[in-house]
Amino acid sequence: MRPIFTLPLAALLLTGTACTTMPMDTVTNVGEPNMVAPILTSADAVDSSSYAQPQVARVTHVALDLALDFAGKSLGGTAVLDIAARDEAEAIVLDSNGLRIDLVTDGAGNALDYEIGAMVAEGGKGAPLTIRMGDARQVRIAYRAAENAEALQWLSPAQTAGGEHPYLFSQGQAILNRTWIPTQDSPGIRQTWEARITAPKPLTVVMSGIAQGAPEDLGNGRRAFRFEMDKSVPPYLIAIAAGDIEFRALSDRTGVWSEPSMLDAAAAEVADTERMVVAAEKLYGPYRWGRYDMIVLPPAFPYGGMENPVMTFLTPTFIAGDKSLNGLVAHELAHSWSGNLVTNAVWADSWLNEGVTSYFENRILEELYGKERAEQEAALAFANIEDTLAEVGNAPGTALYQPENVDPVGSAIIYDKGAYFLRTVESIVGRERFDAWLESWFDRHAFEPATSAMMLADIRANLVRGDAALEERLMLDEWVYGPGLPGNVARPAADAFAEVDAAVAAYPASGPVASARWASWNSAERQRYLRGLPQEIDAAGLARMDRSLGLTQGTNNEELFLWLNLALANRYDAVVPRTETFLANVGRRKFVAPLFATLMGEGEWGQPIARRIYARTRPSYHAVTTGTVDRIVNGS
């Protein structure tokens, strides 16, 4: 997933370092799936965000048969779960949040007793679903998701580009999939899955699995779509989208879906995808998922991207017309190794997904577009870290490992500090040696969960190899468990933005940068300039800058966001209409939440504007976005 406002975290405090697995000779399984991933049993791998007890009984495979109900904004059907369990286990505990359970049976159709426990609304943990399965090792659950389940966003035709048909998409990370799938919703409990989904014509369904043949016409105005994921994945990566969408092939193994009116622009923006896959494989080994397709969703999607296997979900806000923001595609592709292939066992270790991926993303960009662009992107990331540390100091949340009793401070730590940790290790041991180690890390733990302790142990075993001087130079524990930035950080090139930084330093004496120079800069340089400007600029200065650079009418959403945020912080009335349009047409939390926060911070001037806009735009946002903005605007 590309940087977000904050991440939900759920894990136990680290109390041990050695990770062990549940030995498979202690379990029995019916309906053997293609892959059964190990369960980590060390204290730091216990997921407090899940009710599951996988050491006793765990889900290995999920088979869904669901019907989409756009009128009722819900879906329902059956989930058949294959279970691996200790011989003496008589019950399995699943995660559920708002699911209506109609019937539970074993594989032979015999009814099974079940119980839904007490609901924990805070944090979205939901309630445990305990099924007394006896000696059965397969259970069938007939159920229905609640209307407007948090993982699902049902869009009316008016909320789509085409305006004729409704749309559905899901967002499962971190623990939202328990609102529509009854399973053990923990990243450390990997599962294979298959699905049969029915939807009304003419809608097309895609999922994060390989499509199995052509849609089946059911003769009742509906079609059935089948999918399979034969590689074990963490359950948050089971994803679905349905709407008036079309496909454009980019290569034999890559392609993009979107609404028809957006398809040309989407395909042009992701045209380099096959080159990115080739670059990624050159760096860290073969792409193991078969196809790499993407879908550009409607603007309500709350994130930049989501790395669902074989079907990356993308926000349309990255479409700039010049590929300047396609680092997003590189990031989500890199997750095919870091995050999807090797997954954080608990959310306290989410830097293992996002920090490693952010480092990998930068290496892909360097392979395709050269050292200069990669260094500029790295410098922007480093500025994110510095800004965060300037705001919160060396708070506990600035460590990479973030247990549940630590308040997260935003994406600059798990994404950018995580990337700089690997960048620093690379700078010390050398790129060739580092790359060989990272590829071997992916190989050793392919399709398995991992923890911070496991990665540090792997670095020590395969890079340090008993070299005490190297161990001291790397400062491994300080990076992962300590706050702030260790002193050995490999900083970005000092001259990455030399021309831009000079222009910032010259402001306001020389006025805004010349329009010709602005036009010659790439997006990273423009973002650097907007970020570097003084936080206080009067209305006359803002107006002069806007006239010269055309900022309010800009079409690059990263740049437009920075401009609007700066102008709103200075109570510049002229950008209010553009802000309202922007917030009405963009649901990406990275943009939406800070803009509302800025408005609410401007007292009697900004708060009425924020409340007026939010009353209008809230129905168009995903629950991920409203969950944050509700607290900002309403304090709830």
CA distance 185 to 125: 10
**Coil, helix or strand at residue 620:** helix
Please tell me the distance from the alpha carbon of residue 606 to that of residue 579, in angstroms, as a whole number.
Answer: 12
Q: What is the DSSP letter of 21?
A: B
Q: What is the mean pLDDT of each run of 10 residues along the chain (636 residues)?
A: 45 29 37 69 95 97 98 97 96 98 97 96 91 97 95 94 96 96 98 98 98 97 98 98 98 98 97 98 97 96 96 96 95 98 97 98 97 96 96 95 87 96 98 98 97 98 98 98 97 95 95 96 97 96 97 96 98 98 95 97 98 96 94 89
* Cα torsion 50, 52, 55, 61: sign: negative
Q: How many CA atoms lie within 13 A of 566 on its CB side?
A: 25
pLDDT of residue 407: 84
Q: Is the N-terminal amide bond of 182 cis, ω within 30° of 0? A: no
d(CA 301, CA 625): 9
583 falls within a domain: yes
| Distance (Å, whole) CA 168 – CA 178 | 17
- Is residue 166 assigned to a domain? no
| CB 301, CB 172: distance < 8 Å | no
CA 94 – CA 185 distance, rounded (Å):
8
Residue 393 burial (C-beta neighbours within 10 Å; 0-12, 13-18, 19+)? exposed
Can you tell me the distance from the alpha carbon of 235 to that of 176, in angstroms, rounded to the nearest whole number?
Answer: 10
Are 408 and 457 spatial neighbours (Cβ–Cβ below 8 Å)?
Answer: no
What confidence score (pLDDT) does residue 6 get? 38
Range of the structural domain that residue 545 is part of: 498-633
Q: Does residue 313 lie in a domain region?
A: no
- The answer as to whether 615 is a domain residue is yes
What are the tens digits of pLDDT across the range 280-334? 999 999 999 999 999 999 999 999 999 999 999 999 999 999 999 999 999 999 9
Which helix (H) or strand (E) element contains residue 80? Answer: strand 74-86
Per the CB < 8 A criterion, the answer to whether 190 and 234 are in contact is yes
The answer to whether residue 415 is catalytic is yes
Q: Per the domain annotation, does 548 fall within a domain?
A: yes
Q: Which of 51, 369, 401, 415 is catalytic?
A: 415
- Answer yes or no: are the C-beta atoms of 46 and 346 closer than 8 Å: yes
Instruction: Flag whether 592 is in a domain.
Output: yes
Distance CA 227, CA 191 (A): 14
* pLDDT on residue 404: 84
Instruction: State how far the alpha carbon of 110 is from the alpha carbons of 83, 106, 123, in Å.
Output: 16, 5, 35
- Concatenating the DSSP letter of every residue in 112-145 gives -EEEE---B-GGG-BEEEEEE-TT-SEEEEEEEP
Between CA 85 and CA 136 the distance in angstroms is 10
Q: Would you call 602 a catalytic residue per the annotation?
A: no
Tell me what pLDDT residue 123 has.
82
Give CA–CA dist 475/629, Å, rounded.
38
Single pTM value for the model: 0.92
Name 148's Cβ contacts closer than 8 Å, sequence gap at least 6: 73, 74, 154, 623
Does residue 611 lie within any of the structural domains?
yes
Tell me the CATH number at 528: 1.25.40.320
Question: Cα dist. 289→404, 406, 539 in Å?
Answer: 32, 35, 53
Q: What is the pLDDT of residues 469-521, one digit of tens each?
A: 999 999 999 999 999 999 999 999 999 999 999 999 999 999 999 999 999 99
How many separate domains does the chain show? 1
Q: Closest Cα to residue 325, out of 560, 23, 121?
A: 560
The answer to whether residue 576 is domain-embedded is yes
Strand partners, 186: none
Contacts of 255 (CB under 8 A, 6+ apart): 247, 248, 249, 291, 293, 294
In the chain, what is the straight-line distance between the N-terminal and C-terminal CA atoms, in Å?
26
Instruction: Identify the active-site residue in 150, 194, 307, 332.
Output: 332
- The tokens for 368 are 């395709």
